[in-house]
Amino acid sequence: MVLGALKKRFTPPPPERPDLDSVAWAQFADHVARYVFAGSYVQGKRVLDAGTGPGYGAAILKYAGAAEVVAVDIDSESIEYAKCRFGGEGVDYMTDDCEAFENARGPFDVICSFENIEHLPNPEKFMAESARMLKPDGMLIISTPERAKQPPRPRSSGQYLERPAQVRY
């Protein structure tokens, strides 16, 4: 399956036998599951991974059959890591702002944004930019943490929103 093909390129960090009861493992597994879910919608599609972070999600989407994946994050260090660790044919990592895409060029069949929108100061700008970047029949797949169960965590830039993003679009 998707993760089988990815296994050779990405192995979660030590320990060799992760503590499956740990919060960190559960959060990682949840995040990977979102990409695996999205993988069923990307076959032969041009995909934007908005807020890619370390980049493994873009690699999952490519292995799921996406024709091309453009992966963006505002944090240039994360993008450099992603390029080194997961870069390859059909996956393009670039620094860009999800509230005003300047480097990524649409249109896209699918836009994925997992655990990202809650970090944006103006999530409605991201929604408008996503609408602009999607093909007319395109699909936007978003997830965000349930704040009642998971407190906000800072990204590598140390920025996050205290309040859940509430966007009406």
- Read off the CATH number of the domain in which 100 is found: 3.40.50.150
pLDDT of residue 58: 97
Position 144 confidence tier, pLDDT thresholds 50, 70, 90: confident
21 assigned to some structural domain: no
In a domain, 161, yes or no: no
Residue 154 lies in a domain: no
Q: Tell me what the mean pLDDT of segment 23-34 comes to.
A: 77
Q: How much is the average pLDDT of 40-69?
A: 96
CB atoms closer than 10 angstroms to residue 41: 17
Average pLDDT, the chain: 81
Number of domains in the chain: 1
Tell whether 25 is covered by a domain: no
Structural domain of residue 91, as residue ranges? 33-143
pLDDT band at 22 (very low <50, low <70, confident <90, very high): low
Which residue, among 114, 63, 54, 112, has the nearest Cα to 90 in the 3D structure?
63
* Of 131, 144, 66, the residue nearest 98 (C-alpha): 131
Is there a domain that residue 45 lies in?
A: yes
In the prediction, which pLDDT does 119 show?
85
Is 17 inside any structural domain?
no
DSSP 134: E
Grade residue 118 by pLDDT with cuts at 50, 70 and 90. Answer: confident
* SS3 assignment for 61-101: HHHCCCCEEEEEECCHHHHHHHHHHHCECCEEEEECCCCCC
pLDDT of residue 145: 78
pLDDT at 147: 61
Specify the DSSP class assigned to residue 119.
G
Q: Which residues pair with 150 in a beta bridge?
A: none
pLDDT at 166 over 50: no
In a domain, 157, yes or no: no
Residue 2 lies in a domain: no
